[in-house]
Amino acid sequence: MKIGYLRVSTEEQRPDRQIDALTPICDALHVEKLSATAKSRPVYERVINTLNAGDIFVIWDLDRAYRSAKDALNELDRLRERGIEIQIASINIDTSTPHGMLIYTFISGLAEFERRLLSERTKQGLAAARKRGVKLGPPQKMTEAQVRAAIRKISMKEASVAEIAALNGVHPSTVARSIKRLTSNENV
C-alpha cells in the first residue's frame, strides 16, 4: 500500500496542495497540523508504526516529514529494515531504486542546508529589526498609563494585584510582569 503523510505547521495553513497531489497516488492519507520541530508528532508516529513490509511511505516533500538530513536518512534506514520504502511525490523519487537512493540522500542534505539558511536569515532579520528599535513579539497587554496607575493603586493600598488584573481584563501575572518591566526599564 502507498500511505501518504502530509503536514502543515499551523492550524491556519491549508494542506490542500498536498492533498490534491497525493490523493491520486495513495491508498490512504494522514494529515498532521503541527510544527516539524515539535518533540512529538502523533500522526507521523502512528503512521510509521502501522506501516507493513511492502508499503511505501509517500510524502509531498522531504521537509514535510523530516527535520534534518540525519533524521531523513536514519528513518529511511529503519523503514528499509522493515521492508518499507519512501517516495517523495513532488520530485518523483522512489528509494527502492539506486538512483532514487542517491537523489534522496542528496535532497536530504539540501533540505537541511535550506532550513539552516532560512533560520540564519530569520535571526539576521530579527537582529536588524531590533537594531532599528522595532519591538518584536505580541503587543503589551497593558499600556504604560495602565501600569503606572496600577503601581500607584498598589502602593496606596487602593487595590490588590488581582483587582487591578480584573479591572484591566488580564491575568494577575500580567500585572506583575508589566510592573516589573516598567520599573526595570526606568532603573536602566
Compute the average pLDDT of residues 40-64. 93
pLDDT the model gives residue 158: 93
- Is 9 a catalytic site residue? yes
Query: Is the same domain home to 120 and 150?
Result: no
Which CATH number characterizes residue 102's domain? 3.40.50.1390
Cα dihedral value 58, 61, 64, 70, nearest 10: 90
Catalytic residue among 9, 90, 119, 173: 9
Query: Is the same domain home to 17 and 45?
Result: yes
pLDDT the model gives residue 187: 66
Tell me the pTM: 0.66
Are 72 and 108 spatial neighbours (Cβ–Cβ below 8 Å)? Answer: yes
What pLDDT digit, counting tens, does each position of 56-82 carry? Answer: 999 998 888 887 888 899 999 999 999
On whether residue 131 sits in a domain, the answer given is: no
